[in-house]
Structure 1
Amino acid sequence: MTSLSRATGIGRHFEKGKKSLPGAGGGGQAEVLLRQLRCGRLLRPPPPRRPPAPGRPWQEPEAAAAPRAATTCSGASRRSRGPSTRTWPKGVERRRWAPPRVPHPYRSLQWVPRGCWACCTASEDGQILADIISTVEFNYSGDLLATGDKGGRVVIFQREQENKSRPHSRGEYNVYSTFQSHEPEFDYLKSLEIEEKINKIRWLPQQNAAHFLLSTNDKTIKLWKISERDKRAEGYNLKDEDGRLRDPFRLTALRVPILKPMDLMVEASPRRIFANAHTYHINSISVNSDHETYLSADDLRINLWHLEITDRSFNIVDIKPANMEELTEVITAAEFHPHQCNVFVYSSSKGTIRLCDMRSSALCDRHSKFFEEPEDPSSRSFFSEIISSISDVKFSHSGRYMMTRDYLSVKVWDLNMESRPVETHQVHEYLRSKLCSLYENDCIFDKFECCWSGSDSAIMTGSYNNFFRMFDRNTRRDVTLEASRENSKPRASLKPRKVCTGGKRKKDEISVDSLDFNKKILHTAWHPAGNVIAVAATNNLYIFQDKVN
C-alpha cells in the first residue's frame, strides 16, 4: 500500500476494514421488495388507467445480432498488417489532472458524422436483444472507445491517426478489437439467472503499451488487458514448425529461437476476476485517482477493491435495513472524486446525493455532505418519487461540480452548496403530460446517463426518438440533435430539432404525440480532450465531431 493510500485513509479499509461477504436476504420476499423499489413501484397503487392515445401502438425495440469480427478462442482479433502510424499516448497523468482546453462546442452547432456502426441486424421476430448497446466509454486519451452490449461482448474502436494525404481523416474510429467479456450464469442457491449484459466499462490510466479496462455485469467484475502482438518466436529445440514435440535424443544442435514478423494481433486477456462480493445487482464501478483501488456499488452496498486483490473487498457503505420490509431507497449510482482519492459520492432513488470521506471511518455510514433539492408541494403528484430518482451522477473534470440526471432534467451541483443545484436544465419537460402513458409502458423507469465535455463548459444527455440534448453552461444555450442513419451520411451535418407541444406545427418540427419511445438514447460519452461525442441509439453507435475541429 502506497503512502498516498495510507495518507488518505484507504489503507485503513484494507487493514482494519470489514470484509464484504454475500449476506442473506437476496431472494424471496426481500428480492421482490428490492425489485419493486428499484422500479419505483414500492407500496404504490397503480395510477388510473385511460384509453390509449390515438396513433400507432407501442412496439418492441428492434434488435438482432451484428456480424462479429474475426476472433480467436482467446479473444484476440486479427487485422491486416501494414504501415502503422500509431504512437502510444503519453502524458496520461497530465491530462487527467489538468484537463486540456478544447474548442468551444457552441461556436458551431454543426456536428458532422464520423462513423455509424450497426451492432446487430434485425431478426424476423424482432425478439433478439442481446446486442443492444448497454454502455459507452472513452479512455483517458480519447484514442480508444469501448462499448458493451447485452450479449456480454465488448467492442473497442480505435481513432485513426491523421494522414498527410487525408488531412481530415483524424476523428474516424474503426473496430480495434472484439471479445466476449461475460457469459450467462445461473445461481443455483437462489434459482436466479445472471445475465451476461455489460452494465459498466471503466478504463484504467495507461502505464505501458497495453491498455486495461474493467467490465462488469450484475455480479462479476473483470479486469481485461488489451495488447498488440506483431511478432512470434520460431526455431524451438523441442518443437517443430507445426508444434509437434521432437525426440530430444535426436537433437544434434542447440538452436536459439528468433522473432519473426506476423500479422498484427490484438489480444484481450482477463487478468483479474472479482466475484462473490455482491448480493444485489451491480450498477456502478469507478476507478480511484490513486490508480490502485476502485469501488463497486449495488442496490444496497458499496465495496472497495484493490486491483491486485481478488479474494476480498471491504464494505464502505451499507444501507440495508434489518427488516427488508422497511426498505425505502436504493443506491442508483456511485463515483470517486477525480482528484481526491478519499472522497466519493453516491445517489439514491429518492433523489438525494451523499458525499462521503473515507478518512472519517472504515464504514462510511455517515455522510460528510448531503445534497437534496426541496420539492415544491404544489407540483407533487403520483409520479414525483419515480421521476426524482437519480439515474446517473458524474463529477466534473475539475472536481468542483457534479452533475445528476433524473427522468426529466439534468442538475449541476456545486460541492460547496448542498441546499440546491446551481443549474437545472430541462431535458424533455414536454413529457410531463405523458407520464401516465410512460408509466403504463415502463418507459418512465428508463435510466438515462449524462456526461461532461472535456472543458466542463457543456453537458450532454439522451432522450427519446433518438434525440440527444446538449447544454452550454456559459451561454445557457441548448440544442436538440437527432442520431439517425439519414444524418450519418458523409459530409452531412446535424440540424437542430424541435418538439412541438401544441398549436400549429412548423415544417421542421415534430409533434410530441409522434415521438417514438422505442428509440431512445440512454448512453452517451464525450471525448476527454476534443469535441467528439459517441451516442448509443439502441443497437447503433454514432460518432460525431464538431465541424470547427
Structure 2
Amino acid sequence: MKNGDVSEGVAQPLEWKFSQVFGERTAGEEVQEVDIISAIEFDRTGDHLATGDRGGRVVLFERTDTPDHGGNRKNLEMMDYSISRHPEFRYKTEFQSHEPEFDYLKSLEIEEKINKIRWCQSANSALYLLSTNDKTIKLWKVREKKVKKVCDLNVYPDKAAGNGSVVGSSTSTAPKPYIANGGYSERPFGCSGKDFSFPPGGVSSLHLPVVVTSQETSLVAGCRRIYAHAHDYHINSISNNSDGETFISADDLRINLWNLEISNQSFNIVDVKPANMEDLTEVITSAEFHPTHCNMLAYSSSKGSIRLVDMRQSALCDTHSKLFEEQEAPGSRSFFTEIIASISDIKFAKDGKHILSRDYMTLKLWDITMDSGPVATFPVHEYLRPKLCDLYENDSIFDKFECCLSGDGLRVATGSYSNLFRVFGCSEGSTDATTLEASKNPMRRQTQTPRPARPLGSLSGVVRRVKGADNTGVDANGNAHDFSMKLLHLAWHPSENSIACAASNSLYMYYA
C-alpha cells in the first residue's frame, strides 16, 4: 500500500464471522445458469438488500434484527459505527424484472440477465428500485397490499326470493347475518355436512358474500417506468443522482442522463465514439454519480483511467475536469498490460472525497483532489501474475470484479477466484488485510460434511474442470486456484461492518 492520508482514523484489524447464507446448494447439486447472481445492492438505510440474477429475477431481502423489523431508522447517521452488530435478513419477495428479447433489426438476442440494481428514494412506505439488462432499464415499485377475502355469507331476512327483486332495494341498514332458530348459521343455505341440496320449499332468503380487508398483507411489485431504446451497446452501469430526480446509464461509448419521471427521452452527456470506429482506442467500463454533488460524475475506461466530469461546464461532457491514471513504469509493458489495466468497477466513498477502482490485479484508492496517482494500491491476487497467459487462454482475464467501501471509509473490499473476497484497511499505517471464503458455512459443516474442512483463506476449494482452463496451478502457498469459482459481486452495508457477497447462486452474509 502506498502512503497517503485516506482517513482520519486507523482501521484496526477486524474479526470477520459468517452470518447467513441464502440459496446454498447441497453437495453435488448442479447450479442452473439462470440462478447465478449477477447484481447486489443495499438501499440507503441498509434495511433492504436486492439481488438480481441471470434469469432476469430480482429478489428482495429485509432486515429483521431492528426494532421495527426493517423499517426506516431515525438518526441513522448518528449510529455508533464501532459497535459490533449482527445484521440479520430474511427473504421478502421476488419478481421477474426482465424477459429475454430479440432485436429483429440487428438480429441480436437480448439476454434477461440483470446487470445492475440501484435503489431509489422510498416514499409512502413503498420501495423503488431501478434494474437493467443489456438494453432496457425499468423502475419498479414494491408495496404492501392488504389482502381482501370473503369472510362470510350474509342474509337479507326480509327479502324472500319469491317476493320481488332485491336488486333495487334501498335498505339503509347494514346486512345482518342469517338467523336460524335463534342462532347464527355458519353454513350456506341447504348445507349440512356434505349435503348440498336445496331445502324444501326453495330458498327463503338471498345470501350475499361480504368481502372484507384482513390484517394480512402481500407484497406487490409493479413496473412504473421503462427506459428503452437509448443504447446501441450493452449497458454496464446505472447510477442515481443525489437530487433524487435523475439518473445516468452508461454503455461502452455513451452516457445518458434520464429523468425518473420521463421514460421516452434522455440526454446524451458523454460520447466517446470516434468518427471512424477504427480509431477507437478505449471504451467506458463503469460510471457513477457523486454521492452529494448532483453536478459531478465519474466514469472509468478500459485503459485504466478515471475521468471526473462537471455537468455545469457544458451540455456535452466530452472534456473532463480531472483525469486520474497511474503512469506506467518504464520497461514493464507487456502484451497483457492494457488488458489487466482495464477498470471493471468504480465506487465513490460515502463522503465523496475518494474513488475506489478495481482492475484485474489490484484495488486502487484515489483522492479526487490529487490526480498524480492513487493514494493507496492493494494487490488482490498477485500470485496470478505469472499465469496471465493461461488466464488469457480461458478468458478469465476478462472477468469483471466489483469493489465496495465501508461507510466510514476505513476499509475496502473486492472478490477473487475460488469464491474468495479480500478486505483491506485503507487508512495510513493500516496493515489490515483479510481473506475470506464465501463458500464456507460453519453452520452447515456442523450438520453435514460434504467435503473436508479447510483453513480460512485457503484457495483449494472444490476444483471443477473447465474446458480450456488450467485447474492444476497453485499459488505461492501451494493451494490450487479454481478459475471456475469466482466472486464477482459484493456490497458493503452503508452503516455497519457487514458484507453481502454472491458465490454462484448463493448469497453469503458476513459481519465483524
- TM over 0.5, yes or no? yes
Q: Offset at 1:538?
A: 1.3
Look up the equivalent residue of 1:543 and give its one-letter code: M
Aligned residue for 1:139?
43
How big is the shift at 1:286? 0.2
Which of the numbers 177, 181, 187 marks the counterpart of 2:103?
187
Cα 1:127–1:531 change in 2 (3 A) is closer
Letter in 2 for 1:217: N
TM-score of the pair, normalised by structure 2: 0.76
* Partner residue of 2:498 out of 532, 539, 547: 532
Give 2:14's match in structure 1, choosing from 97, 108, 115.
Answer: 108
**How many matched pairs?**
420
User: Which structure is larger by alpha-carbon Rg, 1 or 2?
Assistant: 2
2:392 is paired with a residue whose SS is: helix
C-alpha deviation, 1:128, in angstroms: 3.5
Secondary structure of the structure 1 residue equivalent to 2:264: coil
Counterpart pick for 2:88 among 172, 176, 180:
172
Structure 2 CA distance for aligned equivalents of residues 371 and 122 of structure 1 = 46
Partner of 1:350: 303
Matched with 2:224 is 271
**1:208 equivalent in alignment to 2:124:** yes
- Aligned CA RMSD, in angstroms, stands at 3.0
Contact 2:19 2:86 in 1 (8 A): no
Query: Residue type of the partner of 1:352?
Result: S
Q: 2:394 aligns with which of 401, 425, 441?
A: 441
The alpha carbon displacement at 1:115 in A equals: 1.3
Instruction: Determine whether 1:281 maps to 2:234.
Output: yes
Query: For the residues of structure 2 that align with 1:155 and 1:294, how far apart are their CA atoms?
Result: 22
Does residue 497 (structure 1) correspond to residue 457 (structure 2)? The answer is yes
Please list every run of 5 or more consecutive structure 1 residues that lacks an aligned counterpart in the other structure: 1-100, 236-247, 501-508
Contact 1:163 1:169 (8 Å CA) reproduced:
no
Q: Distance in 1 between matches of 2:171 and 2:266?
A: 49
CA spacing shift, 1:384–1:407, aligned 2, 3 Å: same
- CA contact under 8 A between 1:161 and 1:169: conserved in structure 2? no
Per the TM alignment, residue 479 of structure 1 is displaced from its structure 2 partner at its CA by 1.1
> How far apart, CA to CA, are the structure 2 residues paired with 1:121 and 1:158?
25
Alignment match, 1:545: 511
> Kindly tell me: are residues 123 and 112 of structure 1, through their superposed partners in 2, closer, same or farther at Cα, counting changes over 3 Å?
closer
Equivalent position SS for 1:393: strand
Which of 517, 539, 543 is residue 483 of structure 2 equivalent to?
517
Alignment of 1:50-199 (within 5 A): 106-109=12-15, 111-118=16-23, 128-162=32-66, 171-199=87-115
Give the 3 Å change call, closer, same or farther, for CA 321–119 of structure 1 in structure 2: farther
- CA deviations 1:481-514 (Å, max 9, x no partner) are 11124445499999752669xxxxxxxx984561
State the percentage of identical aligned residues: 54
Q: Secondary structure at the match of 2:326?
A: coil
Q: TM-score, normalised by structure 1?
A: 0.71
Cα distance in 1, alignment partners of residues 485 and 104 from structure 2: 36
Do the aligned partners of residues 341 and 153 (structure 1) sit closer, same or farther apart at CA in structure 2, a change above 3 Å counting? same
Q: CA deviation at 1:205?
A: 2.2
Alignment-derived partner of residue 193 in structure 2: none
Cα distance change, pair 104–234 in 1 and its aligned pair in 2 (3 A): farther
Structure 1 105/415 Cα, relative in aligned 2: closer, same or farther at 3 Å? closer
Task: Measure the CA separation in 2 of the matches of 1:225 and 1:361.
Answer: 34
Offset at 1:539?
1.4
Name the stretch that deviates more: 253-262 or 482-491. 253-262
Q: 2:13·2:432 contact (CA, 8 Å) conserved in 1?
A: no
Task: Measure the CA separation in 2 of the matches of 1:454 and 1:517.
Answer: 31
Tell me the equivalent position of 2:361.
408
Query: Where do 5+ consecutive residues of structure 2 fail to align?
Result: 1-6, 69-83, 152-164, 175-209, 448-452, 461-474
- 8 Å CA contact 1:119, 1:132 repeated in 2: no
The alpha carbon displacement at 1:232 in A equals: 3.2
1:480 is aligned to: 435
Q: How does 1:8-87 map to 2 (within 5 A)?
A: none
CA distance in 2: counterparts of 1:520 and 1:251, whole angstroms: 69
Shift of 1:532: 1.3
Residue type of the alignment partner of 2:169: T
Label 1:170 to 1:128 Cα distance change in 2 as closer, same or farther (>3 A): closer
Distance 1:465 1:127, change over 3 A: closer
Correspondence 1:250 to 2:167: yes
Distance, in Å, in 2 between the alignment partners of 1:161 and 1:533 is 16
Report 1:417-432 matches (<5 A).
417-432=370-385
- Relative to 1, partners in 2 of residues 1:271 and 1:376: Cα closer, same or farther, differing over 3 Å? same
Answer yes or no: is the 8 Å Cα contact 1:157–1:176 preserved in 2.
yes
